[in-house]
């Protein structure tokens, strides 16, 4: 049998498949099913910046409400659940999950500004998380904001959190930097132990009946795996950090391609939401079968064997080969 172990963020995982943050991770019974199906680690659902800010505002309002009251009322404090909007419950859930499972748990923070992130990064570490993933979501909608401003904001956030915790730190980034390789290197220099490639930003929609902006969630498709595949292959030998692939992983073949490109871990969400936690075991069996059939003794042996530095034509990962793709394409309408 193939040795499926892999190193990610300094942790030895029993295989490359990691269940990334999703509604499945919000229930202890689902976490157990993911572990039973073979998940080597789980990324917890994110603690969002809005939750942290809301908690602070609610607490401030509660304190202000009693500031001018009678002295005998000043000792009154409502139960925590009366104003807790997420962080306390998140940390309690993380502690419970840590006690229940035998695989690493990766906490997740979702936001864009340092502020309370340092505090909650420390709290997540104290609650028992084996690692922390920063899920940075920032849309530079202000035309006065430059690309340098955006990059500086990312780097400040990573550096602040890195100084606050001792557990491994991964940064989940989007693909929209004009110089992705340079930004990846700078994130690692700022303190990231690994990069998760790529954050799949959800786009809003417009409801034509209410004429309002509404959230729209569409699960990923297998075609989306090509973007992380390309950049993991490029970055594999250029930065000294772990690389995790996410977005578009639906089959064992998708996972194998990413491992060959250089991924240390392969994260799954949409396929598990479609097919259930047990689908993960089918992917794992498929990876094992492919590696064994193709004479790979281990994941480590296969990892990066088709990265940019390992193929005869390294530039193929850089150029898009538009001409070749267009010339070779045959339309079903072509006679």
**pTM (two decimals):** 0.85
The pLDDT tens digits for 115-143 are 678 888 999 999 999 999 998 877 788 89
Highest mean pLDDT out of 102-111, 172-181, 286-295: 286-295
Measure the CA–CA gap between 45 and 135, rounded to whole angstroms.
Answer: 10
Cα-flanking dihedrals φ and ψ of residue 22, to 5°? -165, 170
Q: DSSP for 148-213, please give it.
A: HHHHHHHHHHHHHHHHH--S-EEEEE-S--TTHHHHHHHHHHHT-SEEEE-------EEETTTTEE
Q: Is 49's pLDDT higher than 70?
A: no
Q: Which residue has the tokens 């990892």?
A: 303
Query: Which of the two residues, 253 and 120, has the higher pLDDT score?
Result: 253
Paired tokens of 34:
């993911």
């Amino acid at each position: 049998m193939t040795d499926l172990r892999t190193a990610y963020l300094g942790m030895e995982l029993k295989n490359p498949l990691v269940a990334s943050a999703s509604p499945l991770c919000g229930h202890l019974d689902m976490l157990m099913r993911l572990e039973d199906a073979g998940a080597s680690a789980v990324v917890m659902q994110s603690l969002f910046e809005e939750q942290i800010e809301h908690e602070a505002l609610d607490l401030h309002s509660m304190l202000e409400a009693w500031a001018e009251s009678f002295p005998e009322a000043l000792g009154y404090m409502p139960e925590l659940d009366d104003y807790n909007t997420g962080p306390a419950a998140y940390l309690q859930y993380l502690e419970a999950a840590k006690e229940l499972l035998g695989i690493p748990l990766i906490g997740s923070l979702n936001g864009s500004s340092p502020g309370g992130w340092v505090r909650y990064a420390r709290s997540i570490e104290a609650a028992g998380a084996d690692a922390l993933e920063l899920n940075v979501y920032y849309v530079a909608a202000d035309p006065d904001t430059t690309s340098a401003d955006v990059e500086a904001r990312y780097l400040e956030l990573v550096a602040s959190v890195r100084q606050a915790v001792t557990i491994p730190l991964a940064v989940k980034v989007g693909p929209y930097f004009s110089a992705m390789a340079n930004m990846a290197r700078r994130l690692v220099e700022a303190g990231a132990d690994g990069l998760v490639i790529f954050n799949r930003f959800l786009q809003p929609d417009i409801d034509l009946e209410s004429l309002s902006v509404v959230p729209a969630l569409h699960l990923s498709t297998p075609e989306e795996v090509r973007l992380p595949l390309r950049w993991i292959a490029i970055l594999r030998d250029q930065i000294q950090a772990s690389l995790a692939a996410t977005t578009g992983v639906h089959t064992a073949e998708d996972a194998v391609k990413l491992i060959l490109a250089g991924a240390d871990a392969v994260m799954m969400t949409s396929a598990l939401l479609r097919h259930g936690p047990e689908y993960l075991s089918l992917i794992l069996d498929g990876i094992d079968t492919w590696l064994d059939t193709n004479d790979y003794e281990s994941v480590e042996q296969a990892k990066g064997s088709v990265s940019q530095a390992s193929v005869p034509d390294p530039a193929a990962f850089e150029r898009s080969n538009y001409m070749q793709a267009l010339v070779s394409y045959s339309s079903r309408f072509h006679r």
